[in-house]
Amino acid sequence: MKKKTKICEPKRKGYKTLYEKTKNELVILSEITSAMMQSLEPAQVIYTILTALTSHDGLGFNRAMFFLVDQEKQTLEGKMAIGVHSADEANKIWNQLDDNHLMLPNLIDAYDKFKNDPESKLNNIVKGISIPLCEDTGILALTILEGMPFEINTDEAKAMVNENIKDILNTDNFVTVPLKTRDRTLGVILVDNIFSRAPITKDDIRILNMFADHAALAIENSHLYEETVHLSHTDWLTGLWNTRYFNEVLKETIKKTKEDDSRLTLLMIDIDNFKTYNDTLGHQEGDQAIKNVADILNSSSRKNDFVCRYGGEEFSIIMVNTDKDDALIISERFRSEVENCFKKKSVGARHAVPLLTISLGMATFPNDAGEKNDMIRKADLALYESKQTGKNKASIYTPELDK
């Protein structure tokens, strides 16, 4: 009869230790993945990822930085970083975390405070980084191009690091990992232990790569969600914001304007002679005319203006921190550019069609109206005044228009 082989006690302990370690890693990974999937806002997903990488009950790196691929520009853009910029600051924060027993969920809940923190020096530095996706621009770009992680801990590896990036980030030993989905690489995570000087082990890199796969999925989901939301808010023909979203934004903007004790002007705009133009040339030309006007309004408006297709051949623009005098000057620019655009198009036209122009009406908060519906009604009255008194002009709401 054969004797049973005994497993020696040290080997039993080794298996038990490995089992416990693997179990803890999976628990951490599960908790982090769950946290990432709780938000669909891209910036909050990135914040959750970086918080998980740096919190003590997460993966515990000193610093974590996120870079996102810009496919159109073919660059790698710094988006966010969590960590500190000096050893003193690091020790202060770590002591605070220990004293207050702040765990991963507490840190994730602090997102609103983080995004409004002007003193996050590392975050501001990373957001200013833009790297061309070329082989000669360093490790961060290579992480994308090669689709593989890099461990920077030898002289040979350090020679591949862009000197400018090394100086900006003040780091010498670090690891980069790509965030890959099935068909593309979305970005790069860079982690280091610049203050604790704790070595980044092979096990750290292994779980970091596992984490990166989950993070990439969370980011892709957030982008798909963002695209879906954007499409639901935009007009199919012009790409401008649609009426439903306009009503939401106007309501919120009036509320904020009240809090700031500032001014707000609403423009309502209508294309003159559009029905005759559309009936003469057909719906395709009519649609093209609407798109042309939309492009002019969009390109000629200011960065903070909110341009919307209100319906049919009518548009609206919410102009923040703008009084009637300034709105009138901007309205004249819109009117003139639309008139010149269609004058050029009418030269040599095969059909005799009326010249397309725009009429505009405006009302201002709080002088003319104190809430959304009244604001729209009074801007519409001013628009009607423009249409009735010659078209191709802008009118300001006055109380006489209500009579």
The residues annotated with a catalytic role in the active site are 313
- H-type alpha helices, 185-323: 202-233, 243-260, 274-281, 283-300
Q: What single-letter amino acid sits at 5?
A: T
Dig out the tokens for 294 from the structure: 């939309």
Measure the CA–CA gap between 221 and 144, rounded to whole angstroms: 20
- Count Cβ atoms within 10 A of the Cβ of residue 400 and give its class: 0-12 exposed, 13-18 middle, 19 or more buried: exposed
Cross-strand bridge partners of residue 192: 63, 174
How do beta strands 174-180 and 185-192 pair?
antiparallel
Rg (alpha carbons) of the chain, rounded to whole number: 29
* Dihedral sign, Cα of residue 147, residue 152, residue 156, residue 159: positive
Measure the CA–CA gap between 1 and 156, rounded to whole angstroms: 59
Instruction: Tell me the DSSP string of 10-55.
Output: HHHHHHHHHHHHHHHHHHHHHHHHHHHTT---HHHHHHHHHHHHHS
Dig out the tokens for 193 from the structure: 């232990």
Measure the CA–CA gap between 392 and 61, rounded to whole angstroms: 63
For residues 353 and 281, is the Cβ–Cβ distance under 8 A? yes
Quickly tell me which residue has 């934004």 as its tokens: 249
* Dihedral sign, Cα of residue 299, residue 42, residue 47, residue 108: positive
Cross-strand bridge partners of residue 363: 266
CA distances from 189 to 61, 179, 245 (A): 12, 7, 35
Dig out the tokens for 88 from the structure: 């003193």
Coil, strand, or helix at residue 75? strand
* Dihedral sign, Cα of residue 162, residue 168, residue 173, residue 176: negative
Dig out the tokens for 168 from the structure: 């900006």
Q: Degrees (nearest 5) of the Cα angle 272, 322, 377? A: 50
